[in-house]
Amino acid sequence: MIELDNDLQSRQNARELVRNAKKAQAILAAFSQQQIDAIVKNVAQEAAHHAEALAKMAAEETGFGNWQDKVLKNRFASLRVYDAIKDMKTVGIIHDDPVKKVMDVGVPLGVICALVPSTNPTSTVIYKALIALKAGNAIIFSPHPGARQCSWKAIEIVKRAAEAAGAPEGCVDGITQLTLEATSELMHSKDVSLILATGGEGMVRAAYASGTPTISGGPGNGPAFIERSADIHHAVKDIITSKTFDNGVICASEQSIIVEGCIYDEVHRELEAQGAYFMNEDEAAKMAALLLRPNGTINPKVVGKTALYLSQMAGFCVPASTKVLIAEQTTVSPKNPYSREKLCPVLGLYVAEDWKAACHRVVELLTNEGLGHTLGDPHP
């Protein structure tokens, strides 16, 4: 009975948040461009000021990634996003073509529901708040339970900064009683105009199934094709930098490498020179068993861990300088973790006879998981 009461209370909390946000957004919709821009600027500056503290909170609470890289993410989500949108006109007439006699008028959507993942919690709160407020919308966050404290700290910072700059109370808020029922209540509310869904496949599917318009960022599976004309040193450097950033938790990072056969030896040497460790068959099997749970989903214990930590978990030793673990593969399937998204510094590597075979492999990988997440053509 207590559990039922908690579910009912969380639903009520969600309804109250939507009601308050709707009232606040009606006030915000009447603000001038100057008023909106002042709010957005203050939110960006305050978020950037707390970038390091939020990064440390997120790393400690979730156990994913490292706080140093999370600082960069928080600064990017605040200062770089602000720089990109600060001069945009979003209020009133934003474009006027007297020749064609056409005007573009900026109109807010209303109340936005924002789902926050555990892998990138604080940076997600920051940038979603900025883009929502810039367009004159109210926003309600639903944090991941595994990142509750750091997400709420970020929400509080954004909320205080927005209101200090003149935003109406209630235009930025979040669910305090985190339950699936509360999140569902938000997503299905007739007064929520849009869902910004960042998270796992299940949550993204639930957002689309709600009937509320949704923009999502779900699982990725981006492959990198190193073609014979490539600058191999530069290509390897970029892949390893991307795959090790925040210990691989960013879904846009590379998940597989496809190498044209004629340059395989050179690529292999360069990968090893830059900190990659090629697992043998036994080690790759041990790592594969660790990466996925029996139900086929990623093992949360591997997310955002270093290559050294992962090798120890799997039961084998690697050099202390190892940055990335690589398993050479020949097959692609949902049961093969090396051909799927891996939110840790582990890569699958495939050898292709030529560029056409490589393109087919890329399509095969994206069709296996992540199609639409990364630029690609299913019909090359």
Q: Among residues 150, 171, 251, 344, which one is catalytic?
A: 251
Query: What tokens does 70 get?
Result: 């999370």
Rounded Cα–Cα distance for residues 293 and 303 (Å): 12
**CB-count burial class (<10 Å; 0-12, 13-18, 19+) for 126:** buried
Q: Which residues pair with 102 in a beta bridge?
A: 97
Cα–Cα distance between 28 and 171 in angstroms, integer?
8
Residue pair 92/107 in contact by the 8 Å Cβ criterion: no
> Would strands 102-106 and 92-97 be described as parallel, antiparallel, or unpaired?
antiparallel
User: Is 344 assigned a catalytic role?
Assistant: no
Q: Is the CB of residue 71 less than 8 Å from the CB of residue 55?
A: yes
Q: How far apart are CA 327 and CA 288, in angstroms?
A: 9
* Residue 161 contacts residue 175 (beta carbons within 8 Å): no
Active site residues: 251
